[in-house]
Structure 1
Amino acid sequence: MDWQGQKLAEQLMQIMLLICAAVAFISGYVLGSFKMMILIYAGGVVLTALMIVPNWPWFNRHPLEWLDPVEAELHPRPVSTRRKKSTKNK
């Protein structure tokens, strides 16, 4: 899953759980049944998990381009030249 796919999965999860919560609350209120409200919300959570947890192809539409190992050796990471701050009290 790429970065944009993770963002899409997060947004879908939030939207689906919010809709499931609203539908569960309204149906539980109309039916006057707390048990039915919990069952509807639990079904929504399971449906959301089935939509979000597997790595579906639409979550990987923008794959990252990785360097080949040989190319990575040609361009080593820059070494930090910053000095560490002294922790001694003067």
Structure 2
Amino acid sequence: MFNIQTHMDYEGQHKAEKLSRFIIALFGIVGLIWGGIIQQFSQTVYILGAGFLLASLVTIPPWPMYRRRPLNWQKPRPEPSVQVNDGEEVKKKKK
């Protein structure tokens, strides 16, 4: 039906983390300065909360910009087999 991607690659995770830290720090600094100017700590908290919501919206969903470099996984190796003295192969038993 729909092909909704639900993953990020490792570089996308790194990019999302850096971006969220930057957004929250920026809004925190701006909120602190604005709250200091108007002498209202509540304004600082509101601005920081808005930064948190924006950072969440930008970085939590797996947007296509976070899925540009997927990992190329190796194909699984075939299970090793053990040769018995009479020439037939018997697969190793897993313990």
Structure holding more strand per residue: 2
Q: CA deviation at 1:75?
A: 7.6
> CA offset at residue 13 of structure 1?
1.1
The match for 1:38 among 45, 49, 67 is 45
> Once superposed, what is the RMSD of the aligned Cα atoms?
1.6
Kindly name which structure, 1 or 2, has the bigger radius of gyration based on alpha carbons. 2
% identical aligned pairs: 32
TM-score by length of 2: 0.71
Q: Whose RCO is larger (CA < 8 A, sep 6+)? A: 1
| Deviations, residues 24-77 of structure 1 (Å, cap 9, x unaligned) | 00010011101111111111110110001000000010011123xxx413387x
Q: Which runs of 5+ in 1 are unaligned?
A: 77-90
* 5+ long unaligned stretches in structure 2: 1-7, 81-95
Alpha-carbon distance in 2 for matches of 1:56, 1:39 = 26
Distance in structure 2 (CA, Å) of the matches to 1:11 and 1:75 = 42
| TM-score, L = length of structure 1 | 0.74
Q: Which has the higher helix share?
A: 1
Runs of 4 or more, structure 1, over 6 Å off, are none
